[in-house]
Structure 1
């Protein structure tokens, strides 16, 4: 039986910020990283199959790992951490499957994690036997709280663990000369370790491994717990790069976590500070609040004109695979790839996007308000960019109609459409689909019912004057009407007034072709004052003048019905 104990209110600890201390950032007045620029993609290492897997309530099955592995290959990863084979039989078996079934492409290197313990290191090399190339990632904890409260060792004791582990890795590698070995060391909890001690313990490991320019060692600096502002972490990385020995023989790697929500920012600033390599997971899955999100960081680079060297042009496939393997849903507002990221509901946003899209040329740099990249680069259509709900303005509905009808609504017609769209969205209390907006547009401006309908017409022109004769059905009667004017439309308004007594003044008129070629249809849009009432009508016909006359009659029908 589970018993939940609830403390009386007066015995509970209060929400008290005084229990916490400011992060002790290093004093670095000579920082250079703020003036640097990221010019190229870093080396990427996916840790979805190890770090990401350990963070799941239900770890991945073998089949799920295989699907994730294939996705990572398809995306272009060249370094992939595949497990902790010494600590988990499923991880061991997966590593063996990769090797024994020749699942590792020649240009891809697998990476495995291991603690600085002899028996675990031996088991790790057994798991990797037969691999063409592999990274052995050794680590031990270095922060004061880990030293003092977890391992109960002083600094010398922690350094000794790292030294002995490095020797053991080097010795075991010599037993398997057929494999090209790359060594990697992490001072776990680097982010909360005294910077000089982090340099000291890494130098100890470097002394053991003796890297060369053409045989580099990876030193991985993890923000195991994100404890500071990203700029403070960048200071630590730059200081480390300045003081570690044999820097030219090292690959400086970064592995940030998201406790403060700044994992991507910290990783980006670390590149400015001198790092070469980034470890992370797709969509940020990882323990506590997550790992560094490689999708976000890669797309950040892409948006700055930098080739991320990873292919995220089909994010829906990434999301589907990651969700199937992790059982974690992707937030609709997830940076770059969320379902709603390229969706604008705000009326002013919609209007700005729509106007920019009409002016954006294919051969010029992308410059569209509210859209930092072209959604089509990620397989998203423009129809998903602008969606309509009760918060939307006239621009959103107009954009959807433009996609449906192939025309650009004039501003005055956008204004007339906005009110009924707003009313429907409020009644529905949700988003309107494009077909709903189209139906509403037709009901209000293109109704098939109404009092008057055009049956036929004939126009004669004498100089600047036009004479029109038209057949109009007036409910059950057929009228033959005649009129004169400076144009066909004014002549038609004159004819209607003479025959019915209805005064029609055309206020706005626009005509657009909905297709190209000799058989193109025309869409006529009219705003008229009918007996002092403003009304709009729209009609489509291959005969451009017929479309205009029908649009006038629909405006009249709307006005006389009010």
Structure 2
């Protein structure tokens, strides 16, 4: 207790060693009123940035599986590694070029530092590739200039310019066909005028054209401020950069503050054209920006993300295999529980929303609590609602309807919820779908402890009273066959009369409904009866291929429950 107390007391003092990030002087910023209307150019960096952050970096098989997935999803630019940094990355780059079956509209991208020997090795790795991207970088931040490199701005700029010249010269000697990308690493920690000066110097050296634009990647290598600051930085650079029409402004956000998604979306509104990120946000420290979440966020706004996320379970499986990491249960769009509702009010709203969508037959998705149709990403409705002690009647009803075709009347939903609530309170665990179904069958259909069983019946006209019929039925009571008889205006009315007389308990039908079962059961029907009895009202249910038999079984079901309440 004392340690915790003193630690919390020390927080205000400790906070003094941090400084607020300065605002950007851009009074007429336009991005707050903009809307994202189209997908950016996507570049996956899973095989480089994601891979270098793994406890166990990928071997060839894990890389190859991830690479194929990225191609299948529709990425047109894939950073496949850092071939000058290791033999493994070099060999994989050669495999991609020679055996990776890369479509002609896909550019392989590789990263290289602004160092001559590494640049030479990088060109060797890409020999024979179709329109590959040479992504060169050097750190430009004030902190790294001062602490790491001990260089001034001219010195840092010269590193970038020298690399740009060497790369463009080598590309020309190799016959052309190369694309170029430059990153002022730690852009968010670089003064904007310094970043602009260095980037303009690189642009002047590369001389981009409409047919071969320079990708200018402005990374949030470390997320240092609120998302609006990054958007301001991007808008400022878009306004001031030279030769803007021949420059592709690219984002490479990280997630140190947990706002990488928001920062990316605002920066796209600020004018960026391209996004580098990873599946589900794997990457250094807290990770890169999650391109799957970004893409599906756009999808929910009616924008084609131009990435195929329809097989989300396959994407998840390959991600977990290749990265040897597990996606959290609450991760947006893909987590095990994200299409699940435990709260009773949420379950009821989802249930009603799903019915409304089916009834309206509208192309517009409008279901409370579900911003996306799970089927659009290859998920099923089976796990939307899961039942525990917080669950309501709507959730239980949804499970029975979707999984077993049992459409409970509203009052029966209320009654059966009490049974499920009792079980979940006693056991303290979530109930799977089959357990809920088995509980329903045991309580209303099979009734293993029920005194009475329906066997058969016959009806014939009552000659003494016009319009009335006599119902002669056979039941078992405690295993002993009994024959009972009653009168009514139909089989149900007459059977209730016979049963009431036999039991000496007045019961009457308050409500009745039936429907065919939607799942299997050879077109069986289910009948529900709500009866009044001296102690109140309750339900019974019966299932049979003959609807009249199902109805009479439902009455016996209700009678058994009356007897149970009366201790008989």
Contact 2:405–2:519 (Cα < 8 Å) also in 1: no
Deviations 1:241-289 (A, max 9, x none): 0000110011110000000111111111111111111000111110000
What is residue 4 of structure 1 aligned with on the other side? none
2:249 is the counterpart of 1:222: no
Q: Give the distance between the partners of 1:241 and 1:471, measured in 2 at CA.
A: 86
What is residue 530 of structure 1 aligned with on the other side? 533
What is residue 212 of structure 1 aligned with on the other side? 209
What is residue 145 of structure 2 aligned with on the other side? 147
1:9-88 to 2 correspondence within 5 Å? Answer: 14-15=10-11, 16-88=14-86
Q: Give the distance between the partners of 2:124 and 2:117, measured in 1 at CA.
A: 11
1:104-503 to 2 correspondence within 5 Å? Answer: 104-177=102-175, 179-361=176-358, 362-446=361-445, 447-460=447-460, 465-503=468-506
Match of 2:548 among 545, 549, 559: 545
Q: Give the distance between the partners of 2:550 and 2:332, measured in 1 at CA.
A: 46
Query: Secondary structure of 1:180's partner?
Result: coil
Query: Secondary structure of 1:133's partner?
Result: coil
Contact 1:511–1:524 (Cα < 8 Å) also in 2: yes
What is residue 3 of structure 1 aligned with on the other side? none
Query: Secondary structure of 2:83's partner?
Result: coil
1:1-16 to 2 correspondence within 5 Å? Answer: 14-15=10-11, 16=14
Task: State the Cα distance separating 1:460 from its structure 2 match.
Answer: 4.2
Q: Give the distance between the partners of 2:519 and 2:334, measured in 1 at CA.
A: 35
Task: State the Cα distance separating 1:524 from its structure 2 match.
Answer: 0.9
The range that moved more, 217-226 or 350-359, is: 350-359
Task: State the Cα distance separating 1:410 from its structure 2 match.
Answer: 1.0
Contact 2:382–2:403 (Cα < 8 Å) also in 1: no
Q: Give the distance between the partners of 1:44 and 1:500, measured in 2 at CA.
A: 74
The range that moved more, 82-91 or 13-22, is: 13-22
Contact 2:487–2:497 (Cα < 8 Å) also in 1: yes
Task: State the Cα distance separating 1:296 from its structure 2 match.
Answer: 0.7
Q: Give the distance between the partners of 2:161 and 2:290, measured in 1 at CA.
A: 32
Q: Give the distance between the partners of 1:98 and 1:477, measured in 2 at CA.
A: 78
The range that moved more, 398-407 or 33-42, is: 398-407
Q: Give the distance between the partners of 2:554 and 2:8, measured in 1 at CA.
A: 72
Q: Give the distance between the partners of 2:26 and 2:331, measured in 1 at CA.
A: 35
Deviations 1:182-226 (A, max 9, x none): 111111111121112111111110011111122211100100000
Q: Give the distance between the partners of 2:52 and 2:36, measured in 1 at CA.
A: 31
Task: State the Cα distance separating 1:542 from its structure 2 match.
Answer: 2.1
Contact 2:344–2:392 (Cα < 8 Å) also in 1: yes
Q: Give the distance between the partners of 2:88 and 2:415, measured in 1 at CA.
A: 64
Task: State the Cα distance separating 1:478 from its structure 2 match.
Answer: 3.8
Contact 1:143–1:192 (Cα < 8 Å) also in 2: yes
What is residue 514 of structure 2 aligned with on the other side? 511
What is residue 94 of structure 1 aligned with on the other side? 92
Task: State the Cα distance separating 1:551 from its structure 2 match.
Answer: 0.7
Task: State the Cα distance separating 1:13 from its structure 2 match.
Answer: 11
Q: Classify 1:540/1:289 alpha carbon distance in 2 versus 1 (closer, same or farther; 3 Å).
A: same
TM-score when normalising by structure 1: 0.94
Structure 1: unaligned runs, 5 residues or longer: 1-6
Deviations 1:386-420 (A, max 9, x none): 11112211222221111233131111111111122
Deviations 1:157-186 (A, max 9, x none): 111111111111112112211x41111111
Q: Classify 1:120/1:483 alpha carbon distance in 2 versus 1 (closer, same or farther; 3 Å).
A: same
Deviations 1:84-124 (A, max 9, x none): 11122211111122223363221111111111112211221
Contact 2:528–2:554 (Cα < 8 Å) also in 1: yes
Contact 1:535–1:556 (Cα < 8 Å) also in 2: no
The size of the alignment, in residue pairs, is 554
Q: Classify 1:476/1:65 alpha carbon distance in 2 versus 1 (closer, same or farther; 3 Å).
A: closer
